[in-house]
Amino acid sequence: MRAWMLRRTGGPDVLQLTDVPDPHPGPGQVSIRVEAIGINYAEVLSRKGLYAWAPKRPYIPGMEVAGIIEALGEGVEGRRVGERVLCGMQHGGYAERVVIPANRALPAPEGYSLEECAAYGVNFMTAWVALVEMGRLRPTDRVAITAAAGGVGTAAVQIAAAFGCDVTGLAGSEDKLVRVRDLGAHHTVNYRSPEFITRLDEVTSERGFDVVLEVVGGDVFRACHERLAHFGRLVVVGYAGLDYKLWNPLSWWRAWRGAPRMSVSDSAVASTGLLATHIGYLLPDEEQLLAIWGALTGFSDEHGLRPVVGSTWEFEKLPDAHRHMESRKSVGKLVVRV
């Protein structure tokens, strides 16, 4: 089969399309013919050598796919060849086939295309864990979502709006904010505009945010953090805005300065909390994961939520999808068709 291999770190062109042997399912595993790959910002970071959860090189990147079960390993019960599934993994997804433990292959939600399935799992699980499990979302909450037009962001805006919350979507361009409003945000703020702080003050003039889902870091983190209401919870899910370059020691200091942090005494004075999550580390806890998955898919179904597939790319052009994500021009999920 063909797979994209990462042998050294660098720009999108370090990804190499390679022939590798077809994987075969061992006991308890299934083999999936990949139809669609969801691209995650974490894979851009891995490619640059900046992702702590990445395996040792060389490896096949790719953390989420959707496809069809094409073979069952010994002892697998309750699954069938031909079943439409999606799955998340640490690596291995940029390939025509993947082999995973049978219980990690989640049934594709009814009514979603396989492209939508590849856009759903990681982004909606992340948004749900951050907002509901950690942010303890309530319908009366005022919620802020940063990079609101992105993969995680478009999922989070939809979830918070469906909960009945008052939603502020923050993003880096006016075009993106139009999409964010269409998805249900009540207020929008462009954090790359000179009016950023004035506009944020306008939105929070009556009351601060009860819950913030934050993925940018730096000034965006600080501005949202300073506008938490009493008992507000800020959940850090990423820090895409930290410009960290392995070869540039000056950038290490800038990244350190921009990294989200909060002092316990300041937190006591404000009665606010800083939380953080990485859903990768939840993968081994199968029981908890399935409970969260059940709640999320039930909620999505009840409220008619759908992942936003912002653009699709051919398998042979996968590095271009990375380029697009880094350009900050992408909206929703980037999906690669296999």
Ligand X SMILES: NC(=O)c1ccc[n+]([C@@H]2O[C@H](COP(=O)([O-])OP(=O)(O)OC[C@H]3O[C@@H](n4cnc5c(N)ncnc54)[C@H](OP(=O)(O)O)[C@@H]3O)[C@@H](O)[C@H]2O)c1
Q: Which helix (H) or strand (E) holds 269?
A: helix 264-270
Q: Tell me whether residue 156 or residue 228 sits nearer to ligand X (CB atom).
A: 156
Give the Cα-Cα-Cα angle 274, 158, 121 (nearest 5 degrees): 80
Minimum CB–partner distance for residue 230 and ligand X (Å)? 26
Minimum CB–partner distance for residue 44 and ligand X (Å)? 8
Q: Tell me whether residue 62 or residue 153 sits nearer to ligand X (CB atom).
A: 153
Decide if 130 contacts 156 (C-beta within 8 A).
Answer: yes
Decide if 292 contacts 133 (C-beta within 8 A).
Answer: yes
> Which of 97, 85, 69, 88 lies closest to 2 in space, CA to CA?
97
Minimum CB–partner distance for residue 74 and ligand X (Å)? 33
Give the Cα-Cα-Cα angle 177, 181, 182 (nearest 5 degrees): 115
**Residue type (1 letter), 228:** L
Write the DSSP string, 194-239: TTHHHHHHHHTSS--EEEEEE-S-HHHHHHHHTTEEEEEEEEE---
Minimum CB–partner distance for residue 63 and ligand X (Å)? 8
Q: Tell me whether residue 52 or residue 264 sits nearer to ligand X (CB atom).
A: 52
Minimum CB–partner distance for residue 83 and ligand X (Å)? 25
Question: Strand pairing of 29-39 and 64-72?
Answer: antiparallel
Q: Tell me whether residue 122 or residue 132 sits nearer to ligand X (CB atom).
A: 122
Q: Tell me whether residue 123 or residue 204 sits nearer to ligand X (CB atom).
A: 123
* Residues near ligand X (CB under 6 A): 40-42, 122-123, 126, 147, 149-153, 171-172, 176, 215-216, 237-238, 240-241, 243, 277-279, 325-326, 328, 330
Q: Tell me whether residue 5 or residue 130 sits nearer to ligand X (CB atom).
A: 130
Minimum CB–partner distance for residue 17 and ligand X (Å)? 22
Minimum CB–partner distance for residue 214 and ligand X (Å)? 9
Decide if 90 contacts 310 (C-beta within 8 A).
Answer: no
Taking the C-alpha atoms of residue 226 and residue 234, their distance in angstroms, rounded to an integer, is 10
Upper half-sphere CA count for residue 163 (Cβ side, 13 Å): 25
Q: Tell me whether residue 278 or residue 337 sits nearer to ligand X (CB atom).
A: 278
Write the DSSP string, 40-64: -HHHHHHHTT--TT--SSSB---SE
Q: Which residue is nearest to ligand X (CB)?
A: 150
Minimum CB–partner distance for residue 171 and ligand X (Å)? 4
Q: Tell me whether residue 40 or residue 272 sits nearer to ligand X (CB atom).
A: 40
